[in-house]
């Protein structure tokens, strides 16, 4: 049975996927650290996102848990449907709960990609973001490492996360950038990368689209997601939740578009 994708479709990293994606950060423990309280519930959310609601864009990162979210995805969804896009991110060290430290050392980035390939049980990462630019390492080395892995067939497309137009232009000197993922929501509504991505004809992926749940109550999710989707067909939000019921509500809030 074919499931109508939430909010239509968008082309990301060479695949036509649901415009409403799913972010996996909230499937881990408090502080994005350790296992979820209920692993089966976390797996259920992932299965329902894909098999019940037709979401075909799953966003994750090796830093979520760390490593936990990627393991959950493999456990819940492998073997993956052909239409599913798995996007992950590398380049962040997690010393403790709620602590995030960029690390763009080329050897570390390469090790991260190799480990994500094993955890997700794939031969190639469809879309791999540089999770954060490490300002202590030349950007040419960071993007160059991902580009080398792309040449080796281990990465399909390269993305950037939390970047400015200047960062984007600099990174684009070393490899084509397939997508940008930045914070954007009604409470944090200004990001010049929305227009730049439109001009560059690449997807803009708003993370924290519900401001970590602060604007999700009392019907706020519908208005918040509608605002994002109305910014243009290149905008593809990735709300996250650990609740199957909340997931169903998020999907339903986009169905009348």
- Name the phi and psi angles at 93, rounded to 5: -105, 140
CA dihedral angle for residue 61, residue 62, residue 68, residue 72, rounded to 10 degrees: 60
Q: What is the pLDDT of residues 172-190, one digit of tens each?
A: 999 999 999 999 999 899 9
Burial of 245 (0-12, 13-18, 19+ CB in 10 A): exposed
User: 1 in a domain, yes or no?
Assistant: no
User: 27 in a domain, yes or no?
Assistant: yes
Say how many residues make up the chain: 257
**Nearest alpha carbon to residue 114 among 142, 66, 149, 140:** 149
User: For residue 112, what are its two tokens?
Assistant: 């991260």
List all residues 6 or more positions away from 156 whose beta carbon is below 8 Å from its beta carbon: 13, 14, 124, 125, 126, 127, 128, 150
Q: Are strands 101-102 and 57-59 parallel, antiparallel or unpaired?
A: unpaired
Q: What is the pLDDT of residues 184-232, one digit of tens each?
A: 999 899 999 999 999 999 999 999 999 866 676 656 789 999 999 999 9
- What is this structure's pTM? 0.96
**Nearest alpha carbon to residue 204 among 230, 224, 227, 232:** 232
User: 2 in a domain, yes or no?
Assistant: no
How many domains are there within the chain? 1
Q: What is the pLDDT of residues 106-121, one digit of tens each?
A: 999 999 999 999 999 9
CATH at 78: 3.20.20.100
| Secondary structure letter of residue 37 according to DSSP | S
Residues 157-163: what's their mean pLDDT? 98
The 10 Å Cβ neighbour count of residue 252 is 13
Residue 109 and residue 144 in contact, taking contact as beta carbons nearer than 8 Å: no
Helix (H) or strand (E) holding 252: helix 244-252
pLDDT reported for residue 82: 96
User: 3 in a domain, yes or no?
Assistant: no
Which structural domain, as residue segments, surrounds residue 181? Answer: 9-252
Q: Which residue has the tokens 């602060």?
A: 214
User: 149 in a domain, yes or no?
Assistant: yes
Residues designated catalytic: 64
User: 257 in a domain, yes or no?
Assistant: no
């Amino acid at each position: 049975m074919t499931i109508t994708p939430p909010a239509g479709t968008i082309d990301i990293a060479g695949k036509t996927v649901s415009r409403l994606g799913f972010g996996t950060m909230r499937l881990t423990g408090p502080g994005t650290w350790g296992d979820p309280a209920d692993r089966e519930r976390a797996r259920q959310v992932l299965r329902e996102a894909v098999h019940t609601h037709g979401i075909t864009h799953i966003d994750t990162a090796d830093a979520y848990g760390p490593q936990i979210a990627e393991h959950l995805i493999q456990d819940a969804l492998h073997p993956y449907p052909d239409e599913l896009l798995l996007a992950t991110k590398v380049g962040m060290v997690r010393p403790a709960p709620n602590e995030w430290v960029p690390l763009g050392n080329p050897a570390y980035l390469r090790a991260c990609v190799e480990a994500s390939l094993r955890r997700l049980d794939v031969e190639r990462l469809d879309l791999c973001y540089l999770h954060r630019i490490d300002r202590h390492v030349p950007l040419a080395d960071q993007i160059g490492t991902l580009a080398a892995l792309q040449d080796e067939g281990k990465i399909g497309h390269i993305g950037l996360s939390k970047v400015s137009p200047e960062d984007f232009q600099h990174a684009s000197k070393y490899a084509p950038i397939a997508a940008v993922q930045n914070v954007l929501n009604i409470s944090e509504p200004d990001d010049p990368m929305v227009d730049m991505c439109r001009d560059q004809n690449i997807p803009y992926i708003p993370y924290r689209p519900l401001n970590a749940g602060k604007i999700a109550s009392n019907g706020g999710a519908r208005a918040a997601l509608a605002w994002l989707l109305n910014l243009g067909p290149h905008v593809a939000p990735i709300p996250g939740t650990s609740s199957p019921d909340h997931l169903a509500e998020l999907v339903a809030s986009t169905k009348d578009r």
